[in-house]
């Protein structure tokens, strides 16, 4: 009967013999990751020393294997979480902000349920019940818990700790139908008026005087549909207001991590988010005013800064916007709502592809599902007068700043309408004007 094979990553009996030199040699067969058994040996002054040296060699050899010999299926779930986070750090493929978000979601949403379970005890039924309990929370929290649990168990499968990922078979999360909302022209102008009154000192009691940054930030968001972090990351060198078509280059974002200073990240959220956006007149005017007021003339200097010259945090800008508008009786306005407003205006006057490009989205599905307000107006194609009147009514409230490629698409619909700007510029961008927003 043949001798049974060694399990991969293990060794057989250790034998020790004395050599002619008086040294002792310890030897053992070790089965490597490729399945082949090889002899490993070590020497020492005594038999025990040689055996210890051999075991050290075997331990070092085991650490070179592409599997985790210290995490069997009976390991507690917190050990897998640590192993998963260490693997994320080793790969270094996601941003530190995302990594910290994963750790927070795992700690606050998942660990409290699975911390006393061994990996082999986590099956489909248990995961399915967990997801159903999470579904009682807001959808985004439930989704976050599902993502991190799935990723951790997926790593366990890839490293052959468990045979299958139970999260592959749980019920899908149900999300209530949601129609993105957007502001009307009247609502946007009320927002502008409220901010202008606050910056003019109406109702001022005490504290530092405003420096006019909030209105400029809002105008940039309305003119570019940029994310709030992208707006706060704009540098002087990113702004071009001297060309025939003024533009802003969006090539970074502001990052605030717990325990660290707020900083400018040299790339935005995604690769496609790095873009050049042509500006409507109200935004280019705001940029000229901001450039003139800015004290730091360094081309790399941020256009929007604190009084100490440090980057503004997105949280502080959101808080300030909420406070100013709240004092004016306006509630529910966020930077994200401004993005949806611009996306809706662009879609109504051009197409969803252009809206997605302007927002920096890689997929138009995201734009349609989360950013564009559905229009309830249906125009009959058999009545061209109605369609033309509808297009004219919209375009009369828009300012068009587009490149030649987009011009060919839009010129037929806008040639006889006003007030449309010339179709100039190297990048195609459709930007709402103050009248429509």
With tokens 């734009």, the residue in question is 367
Q: Is the pLDDT of residue 374 over 80?
A: no
pLDDT confidence of residue 103: 96
Q: Which carries the bigger pLDDT value, residue 4 or residue 204?
A: 4
With tokens 């605030």, the residue in question is 256
pLDDT confidence of residue 208: 72
Cis before 419 (ω within 30): yes
Q: Is the pLDDT of residue 436 over 90?
A: no
How far from 371 is each of 224, 303, 317, 390, CA to CA, in Å? 14, 27, 21, 22
pLDDT confidence of residue 375: 67
Q: Do the Cβ atoms of 302 and 311 come closer than 8 Å?
A: yes
Q: Do the Cβ atoms of 29 and 38 come closer than 8 Å?
A: yes
Q: Is the pLDDT of residue 260 over 50?
A: yes
- The domain segmentation of the chain, as residue ranges, is 15-63, 77-169, 188-332, 339-414
- Reported as a single tens digit per residue, the pLDDT across 43-98 is 999 999 999 999 998 887 765 555 444 688 888 999 999 999 999 999 988 888 89
Distance CA 66, CA 304 (A): 48
Least confident among 10-19, 124-133, 375-384: 375-384
Distance CA 186, CA 223 (A): 17
Distance CA 314, CA 323 (A): 14
Q: Do the Cβ atoms of 359 and 270 come closer than 8 Å?
A: no
Distance, first Cα to last Cα, the chain: 85
**CATH architecture entry for 77-169:** Orthogonal Bundle (1.10)
Q: Is the pLDDT of residue 422 over 50?
A: no
Q: Is the pLDDT of residue 40 over 50?
A: yes
pLDDT-based confidence at residue 387 (cuts at 50, 70, 90): very low
- Calculate ∠ Cα 279-371-219, nearest 5°: 30
Residue 435: alpha-carbon gap to chain centroid: 32
- Reported as a single tens digit per residue, the pLDDT across 96-129 is 889 999 999 999 999 999 999 999 899 999 999 9
pTM above 0.75, yes or no: no
Please, which residues have CB within 8 angstroms of residue 412's CB and are 6 or more apart in sequence? Answer: none
The yes-or-no answer to whether 77-169 and 188-332 have a common fold is no
Instruction: Report which of 18, 19, 28, 25 is spatially closest to residue 43, judged by C-alpha positions.
Output: 25
The backbone torsions φ and ψ at residue 402, rounded to the nearest 5 degrees and listed phi first, read -135, 160
For 20, the 3-state DSSP assignment is coil
- Reported as a single tens digit per residue, the pLDDT across 204-248 is 766 677 888 999 999 999 988 899 999 999 999 999 999 888 999
Q: Is the pLDDT of residue 250 over 50?
A: yes
The backbone torsions φ and ψ at residue 249, rounded to the nearest 5 degrees and listed phi first, read -100, 120
Q: Is the pLDDT of residue 411 over 90?
A: no
Distance CA 149, CA 171 (A): 14
pLDDT-based confidence at residue 378 (cuts at 50, 70, 90): low
User: Which helix (H) or strand (E) element contains residue 17?
Assistant: strand 15-18
Question: What's the token pair of residue 284?
Answer: 């280019």
pLDDT confidence of residue 303: 93
Q: Do the Cβ atoms of 349 and 430 come closer than 8 Å?
A: yes
pLDDT-based confidence at residue 415 (cuts at 50, 70, 90): very low
Distance CA 274, CA 230 (A): 9
pLDDT confidence of residue 72: 83
CATH superfamily of 188-332: Intergrase catalytic core (1.10.443.10)
- Reported as a single tens digit per residue, the pLDDT across 131-142 is 999 998 888 999
Distance CA 313, CA 301 (A): 16
């Amino acid at each position: 009967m043949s001798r049974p094979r060694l399990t991969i990553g293990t060794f057989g009996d250790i034998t020790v013999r004395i050599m002619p030199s008086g040294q002792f040699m310890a030897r053992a067969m070790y089965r490597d990751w490729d399945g082949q058994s090889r002899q490993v040996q070590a020497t020492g002054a005594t038999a025990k020393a040689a055996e210890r040296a051999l075991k050290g060699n075997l331990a070092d050899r085991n650490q070179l294997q592409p599997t985790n010999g210290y995490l069997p299926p009976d390991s507690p779930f917190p050990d897998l979480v640590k192993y998963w986070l260490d693997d994320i750090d080793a790969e270094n493929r996601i941003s530190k902000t995302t990594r910290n978000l994963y750790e927070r979601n795992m700690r606050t949403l998942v660990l409290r349920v699975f911390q006393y379970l061994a990996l082999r005890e986590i099956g489909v039924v248990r995961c399915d019940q967990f997801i159903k309990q999470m579904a009682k929370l807001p959808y985004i929290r439930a989704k976050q818990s599902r993502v991190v649990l799935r990723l951790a168990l997926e790593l366990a499968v890839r490293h052959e700790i468990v045979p299958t990922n139970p999260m592959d078979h749980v019920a899908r999360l149900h999300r209530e139908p949601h129609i993105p909302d957007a502001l009307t022209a009247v609502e946007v102008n009320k927002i502008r008026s409220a901010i202008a009154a606050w910056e003019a000192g109406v109702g001022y009691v005490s504290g530092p005087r405003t420096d006019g940054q909030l209105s400029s930030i809002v105008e940039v968001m309305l003119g570019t549909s940029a994310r709030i972090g992208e707006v706060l990351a704009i540098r002087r060198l990113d702004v071009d207001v001297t060309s025939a078509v003024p533009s802003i280059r969006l090539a970074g974002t502001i990052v605030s991590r717990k325990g660290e200073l707020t900083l400018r990240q040299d790339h935005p959220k995604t690769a496609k988010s790095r873009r050049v956006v042509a500006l409507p007149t109200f935004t280019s005017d705001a940029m000229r005013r901001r450039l003139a007021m800015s004290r730091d003339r360094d081309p790399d200097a941020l256009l929007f800064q604190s009084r100490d010259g440090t980057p503004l945090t997105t949280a502080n800008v959101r808080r300030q916007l909420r406070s100013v508008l709240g004092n004016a009786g306006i509630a529910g306005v966020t930077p994200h709502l401004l993005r949806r407003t611009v996306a809706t205006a662009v879609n109504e006057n051009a197409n969803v592809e252009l809206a997605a490009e302007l927002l920096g989205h890689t997929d138009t599905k995201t734009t349609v599902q989360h950013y564009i307000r559905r229009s309830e107006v249906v125009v009959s194609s058999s009545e061209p007068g109605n369609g033309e009147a509808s297009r004219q009514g919209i375009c009369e409230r828009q300012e068009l700043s587009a490149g030649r490629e987009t011009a060919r698409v839009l010129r037929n619909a806008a040639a006889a309408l006003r007030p449309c700007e010339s179709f100039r510029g190297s990048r195609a961008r459709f930007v709402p004007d103050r009248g429509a927003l």
